[in-house]
Amino acid sequence: MPELPEVEVVRAGLEAHVTGRIIASAEVLHPRAVRRHVPGAADFAGRLAGVKVEAARRRGKYLWLDLADGQALLAHLGMSGQMRVQPPGAPDEKHLRVRFTFADGGPELRFVDQRTFGGLALADLVDSGGTPVPDTIAHIARDPMDPAFDLAVAARALRARRTEVKRALLDQTLVSGVGNIYADEALWRARLHWARPTERLTAAQARAVLGAAADVMAEALAAGGTSFDALYVNVNGQSGYFDRSLNAYGQAGRPCDRCGTPIRRDPFMNRSSFSCPRCQPRPRGPR
């Protein structure tokens, strides 16, 4: 599933191609794509016609368009969602779900989603710590790349949890935007095992792993995100390249770039965790 850097790449593309334009029409081609908009597809399309896009924003893995009527067009990409900018008349994508046309007659915005786990919805904007966000994601915490993110506060909150450090990193109400890939990379950089109890972290370790998460995501963003298949693309259909720089995630059996010990894969929450047995020793003793 795309994480913060991949979503930020898409947000930046929307900012460049959609901001300032007036939506002429929204055509819903598959009702599941707007299932989170409870009033339904007709209401979704009707409320968007003639509305100006003011800005493209993001918090964690969610992105949205600020609309001139005070609402937000919220998007979650799920496992395979894409926001594509295409010239009018370009052939429809096989899994095209929603098409937006604009009053200027320029490029369309298309929501393409092969697996239909993503979706779009309209939401009211509410204040969240001084920042307007869609009401349905107001519970989502700031992410490490947010200018208002407070590392010291987040580190204290991390240490106050009673769980494994990786589970805490994946908790979007604690810190948003971090998923399986960047959690493993941040833990590798901080030399912490994914099962380390959060209450055993020192203040320095908590700050280190959160700082590492910010650093690794910034590097991934500079590389256009991490892409493991053709579904993770920017608005122009281009893939990112950060997967070539991963030190832990997906590297099972390969030598650790730091010490040469083969990277280990462990089952984790119906997924996998990757770590170096030497650099990231498993914690011992009871919690």
Question: For residues 223-243, b (16+ Cβ closer than 10 Å) or e, as one string?
Answer: bbbbbeeebbbbbeeebbebb
Whole-number Cα distances in Å, 245 to 144, 218, 261, 278: 20, 13, 17, 20
| 3-state SS assignment for residue 71 | strand
The kind and range of the H/E element at 151 are helix 151-160
Instruction: Give the residue numbers annotated as catalytic, written as ranges.
Output: 2-3, 61, 271
* Beta strands 271-275; 131-134: pairing state: unpaired
Structure tokens at 33: 């794509």
CA dihedral 221, 58, 113, 104 (to 10 degrees): -100
Do residues 202 and 195 make contact, with C-beta atoms less than 8 angstroms apart? no
